[in-house]
Chains A and B, each alone.
Chain A
């Protein structure tokens, strides 16, 4: 079996488990929505910054969307590896000589699919709750950022999720390990989305270098994960 086929099978399995258990749908998605509402409670009553056209909430909306995505990523990663370690499924896969690189890509694809849906819904939430407006000319940039950031977050999440899988205290360790690592995605994706939406009068051309930052991140951790996943999960 080729690696690509294994990756597809693993991803299909993960998504099928997710579809049947509906944990992401019933718990992670509502959690993300609650986070967005709480952001509004914390920031909405502040006065509009001097000389700004947008309300404060509107001008920080791109950052809040990505912050909520990061918090949800932590939950999704934990869930993705809880299903593997509960019955020793990860060990079984390795004993069956499933290639670690293919396994990594399978988990990453499944995580990316869930994350992509979540991020899109978060953006819609920002439009609905924060008064964010999407302009037609920024859609290409928005989609490029969405794809690059989703793959970056999914690959780094799978990598560190595999590391913490099966260890005591993994729930508390994962945020400590993951959040500093994804800082470049938060910075890059936030700036790119600000440019795509025109927050604070930024031009669309300003966003492309930031998509580059996020894409480099995705490539580095995609490659790093393919190589390092085997040594990390072998017991």
Chain B
């Protein structure tokens, strides 16, 4: 996990290059199968291909937020409050917000094509939107300033509060929807029977996106480590410079 074994020019190591190459191959494979080899759907025709981006990115976003929660818990409850857990939580949340954004955008486009509307106030969509906003807030908390330990403790508490909040929001939204009328547009459920090749393509998508996630999080975790080190070094350097000024050039003041 240490940044020191990375090459001086970047955050890549042999391990991440391997994962990166695998992710690249996976995405290329996904493009070939998703756009080329997999068949068009009987009802949704070509628009079904959005599925191969939408479902894997949703799955990755949820995985990323679980990783953030677990890493935050580990930071807070381990006796040695290691900032590595905090940076892992931060890196994972950033990538998670990215994937959740992709999920929402691809889902809205897909919804427009199949349901006729971009957005519907159904429970799952509403909760997903809340999740997205909540983690944008989490990322804002990380940028509040203060010492690294302060940032780590604050953001860990917020991440764990989000774990409390999300089920509550979901529960209340489900209750809220159950009292309103059912959506009047055509729902796609019921006759989505998946062709074998479609299922395989989806599987390829999930593997490719998971590799991409691991690759991004490792790199982001390393740049965060470097940023923190730069912060510390910058402070030390500034103190040293002021001291040197006081010793060498008092007349310049």
Chain A complexes with chain B = yes
Q: Chain A interface (Cβ within 8 Å of chain B)?
A: 159, 163-164, 167-169, 173, 176-177, 180-181, 183-184, 187-188, 191, 209-210, 213, 216-217, 220-221, 224, 228, 231-232, 234-235
* Alpha-carbon gap, A169 to B146, bound state (A): 12
Question: B interface vs A, CB < 8 Å?
Answer: 76, 130, 133-134, 136-137, 140-141, 144-146, 150, 153-154, 157-158, 160-161, 164-165, 168-169, 171-173, 175-176, 179
Residues of B within 8 A of A216 (CB): 168
State the majority secondary structure of interface residues on B.
helix
Expressed in whole angstroms, the minimum distance between the Cβ of A145 and any Cβ of chain B is 14
Contacts of A167 in B (CB 8 A): 144-146
Tell which of A181, A188, A209 has the most Cβ of chain B within 10 Å: A181
- Contact across chains for A180 and B133 when beta carbons are under 8 A apart: yes
> For A164, what are the chain B residues with a Cβ–Cβ distance below 8 Å?
144
A180 pairs with B134, CB closer than 8 A: yes
> What residues of A have a CB within 8 angstroms of the CB of B160 in the complex?
228
How far does the alpha carbon of A107 sit from the alpha carbon of B153 in the complex, in Å?
Answer: 21
Given contacts A163-B157, A231-B157, contact A184 B144 (CB under 8 A): no
Q: Which B residues are CB-close (under 8 A) to A210?
A: 175
Residue among B133, B141, B164 making CB contact with A224, cutoff 8 Å: B164
Task: Tell whether, in the assembled complex, residue B175 and residue A213 are in contact, meaning their CB atoms are under 8 Å apart.
Answer: yes
Given contacts A191-B176, A213-B175, A234-B153, A181 and B165 within 8 Å (CB-CB): yes
8 other contacts beyond A167-B145, A169-B144, A180-B165, with CB at 8 A cut-off? A163-B158, A173-B144, A177-B140, A177-B141, A181-B165, A187-B172, A187-B176, A228-B160
Contact call B169/A184, Cβ cutoff below 8 A: yes
Top-4 shortest CB links A-B: A184-B172, A167-B144, A177-B137, A180-B133
Q: When the two chains form their complex, are residues A183 and B164 in contact, meaning their CB atoms are under 8 A apart?
A: no
Q: How far is the CB of A44 from chain B (nearest CB, A)?
A: 24
Which A-chain residue is minimally distant from B167 (CB atoms)? Answer: A220
B169-A180 in contact (CB<8A): yes
- Tell me which residues across on chain A come within 8 A of B76, comparing CB atoms: 231
Total number of residue pairs linking A and B with CB closer than 8 Å: 73
Q: Of the candidates A176, A181, A209, which one forms a contact with B175 in the assembled complex, judged by CB atoms under 8 Å apart?
A: A209
Contacts of A235 in B (CB 8 A): 146, 150
Instruction: Collect the chain B residues with CB atoms within 8 Å of residue A232's CB.
Output: 153-154, 157
Q: Identify which of B133, B146, B161, B175 contacts A228 (C-beta below 8 A).
A: B161
* B130:A183 contact, CB within 8 angstroms: yes
Q: A187-B173, A231-B153, A232-B157 are in contact. Are A176 and B136 (CB under 8 A)?
A: yes
A224 touches B161 (CB 8 A): yes
One of A169, A180, A217 near B130 (C-beta < 8 A): A180
Question: Using Cβ atoms and an 8 Å threshold, which residues of chain B touch A221?
Answer: 164
- Interchain CA distance A232-B154 in the complex, whole Å: 6
Asked whether, in the complex, the Cβ of B157 is within 8 Å of the Cβ of A220, the reply is no
Contact present for A168 and B144 (CB under 8 Å) = yes
Q: How far is the CB of B168 from chain A (nearest CB, A)?
A: 5
Is A180 in contact with B137, judged by CB distance below 8 angstroms? yes
Q: Which of chain A's residues has its CB closest to B165's CB?
A: A181
- In-complex Cβ contact of A183 among B137, B141, B154, B169 (8 A): B169
- Residues of B near A228 (CB, < 8 A) are 157, 160-161
Q: In this complex, which of B136, B150, B158, B161 has the most chain A Cβ atoms within 10 angstroms of its Cβ? A: B161
- Cβ contact within 8 Å between A176 and B172: no
Given the complex of chains A and B, what is the CA–CA distance between A213 and B157 in angstroms? 23
